[in-house]
Structures are given as C-alpha cells and as structure tokens.
Amino acid sequence: MQPIGSKLIILINHSMNEETMVSTILIICLLITFIISFLLIVWWIPQAKRAGLVGKDMHKIEERFVAEIGGFPVLIGFLFGALLFVGIRTFFFQDASFLLEILAVCATLLLIGLIGFIDDLLGWKIGLRQWQKPLLCFVAALPMMMINSGVSTMDIPGVGMIQLGLLYPLLIIPLAISAAANGFNMIAGYNGLEAGMGVLILGTLGFIVWFDQRLGMVAMIAGLMVVALLAFLMLNWTPAKIFPGDALTYPVGALIAIIAILGNAEKAALLLFLLYIAEFFLKARGGWRKESFAHVEKDGTLEVPYAKIYGVEHLALKIQKSVYGYATEKMTVIVIFGMQVLICLVTAILFL
C-alpha cells in the first residue's frame, strides 16, 4: 500500500510539474516561518516586559525601555520552519537526504542560542566572562563536528591545495562557528542593525550557494533564517519595540559559518565578514574599552563619542557629519547597510 504522502504527491503531479511543486513547497515553508516568527515576536514583547527583561534604548532623547532577548522567538521560528521543511520532505517525498545535516544545524544553533540566552539573562549581573563565550560556542559546535560536514580540502593562496583531514571537523569547524558567533555580536547597539546585517549576509551567502544544484538545501536553511530576521526587523526598526540580544546575534553569526561550511563557501563568507574584521581591529585599537554607542544631543541627533574611530558605527557617524552636518540613528544604520551591500555585490560578482 502506498503511503498517503505518496498518493498526495501523485495527485499533485497531475496539475503541476516537479520543479513547480518543489518551488511552491519552498515558498510555503518560508512564508509559514515568517508568520510564526512574527507572531512569536509579537507575543514575546509583552511577556519580556512583564518579566522585567527590558533594556534602555540608548539613542533616544526620551527614556525608553524596550523588550529584550528577541533572539528567542526568532530562533524558535527558524527551528519550526526547518523542522517543517524536514517533515514535508520526509513524509511527502520520502526524501531523507541532507536530513542529518539539517538536524545538526538545528542542534548547534539551539545550543548556541541557549548560550546567548543565558548571557542575556546574566550578562550584566553575574556575567559570562569574555573567554567563556567563545569556549562555550566552541563546545556547542559539537553536532556539526560529529557529522564531519563540509570539505576538508582547502585551497590556500600561495600554498595550494591542502588536505586537512580530521583537523577540519575537529578544529576548523568549531573555530569558525565560535569566531563567527562572537564576531557577529560586535557591530550592534543601533535599532535594526543586527537583524539587517544578518539578512544581507545570509541572503547573499544563500544566493551564492543556491547556484550549485547540489546545495539547494543549504540555501534553504539560509533562507529560513532570512525570513525570520525580516519578521524581527519589522519590530526592531527604529523606534524599536524589541532588542535582539546575544540570543539572536550568536545563532545568526554561527549560521553564517555553518552555511559557508556546508556550501563550501568559506572564502565568500570571509569576504562578507569584512566589516566585522575591521570592527575587531578598531575595537582592539581602543583596548576593547571604547563603546559603539553615540552621544545623543538635545535635538535627537547623534555625535561621535571619541576623536578617533573605534568602530564601524563611528565611521558611519563621521560620514553623515561630513555629508549632512549631522547624524541620526536611522541614517547610521542605513550607511552601514550601504557598506555591507557594496561588499555583498562584490562578493556575488566574484563567486557566482
């Protein structure tokens, strides 16, 4: 006897070809992920406020306190979409290919999201120390390490092809995931910034791997997080109703590394991460003591807090000051987006 899923697929095939059917299912999964994420975020905002999980909106004249830990509903929305996608492929298509990789991705992001959640809850009072965060993220990468994902052969400029063997899953993968998770947390603190950067980087990376027919499932994983972030961005754009927290930045950063590993697109991901690499060196220049926040003037405009530049955010503020004579939070985010879009276009041209 044929499974119900198979009978349904046969019936559907009478009215549409296979390519159209697969595309329709992908769109449905993305749409449901967006809706679930948005509804969870809307539900979470009053719950977080009721529990006292709020933070001050630093770039407003008036004193505003906004719901925090917005990464929690985003991650749940993403996981729901990923499992829905797995369920449709398993029950209706009897296709278990790439199942292990998707479950490993979900497990890794869940563990890293938990680390971010704990850091959001305890960070200012008890606090995870700076050395503990990358170490914990390193351990959270275990699911991706155990499935030996990615390609262990690397082409290093000036050296040639190198076979890393077990060194790749046991060291390179957790290092990349931990570094990306913690690195993505550096450019932050402005309404809409973290979510928007995640959309741009994951969207571009997913677009690049999509062109390899074998990696369509990898692109789908990136797409699920992109739509979840878009749902979040609608409520995180200035004036924000919710903040992302480490519960969002850690999993998004980790997913960037994961997509690069599964899609064999490490070089593209490294190029897409250029602003974060620049941020690392600018923060190091200030001895890791300079904040990215701007000084809010009485008229609501922003002023660069230091004479020198200690972050990409400060550079965006200075660009506005030189062009318009003043700076705002919204334009600061848009300027940084502009920088990232330029990097995304160059990356797409080089790797497509």
In-domain check, residue 257? yes
Token look-up 């230091």 returns: 306
Q: Does some domain include residue 172?
A: yes
Does the pLDDT at position 205 exceed 60?
A: yes
Query: Among the residues of 69-192, which ranges form H helices?
Result: 71-91, 99-122, 132-140, 142-146, 167, 173-183
Answer yes or no: is 282 within a domain: no
Question: Looking at residue 159, what is its pLDDT?
Answer: 66
In a domain, 174, yes or no: yes
Please identify which residue in the block is written with the tokens 């602003």: 275
Predicted confidence at residue 156, as pLDDT, reads 64
Average pLDDT over residues 231-250: 96
Q: Number of structural domains, the chain?
A: 1
Please tell me the distance from the alpha carbon of residue 95 to that of residue 292, in angstroms, as a whole number.
Answer: 47
Q: In terms of residue numbers, what domain contains 65?
A: 4-266
Whether 79 maps to a domain, the answer reads yes
Neighbours of 211 (CB within 10 A): 12
Cβ contacts of 266 within 8 Å, gap of 6 or more = 154, 176, 260
Q: What is the mean pLDDT of residues 101-110?
A: 94
In a domain, 27, yes or no: yes
The answer to whether 313 and 336 have CB atoms below 8 angstroms apart is yes
Residue 304 lies in a domain: no
Phi then psi for residue 154, to 5 deg, are: -120, 140
Residue 323 lies inside a defined structural domain of this protein: no
pLDDT value of residue 103: 92
The model's pLDDT over 85-96, given as tens digits with 9 standing for 90+, comes to 888 888 877 777
For the cut 80, the answer to whether the pLDDT of residue 127 exceeds it is no
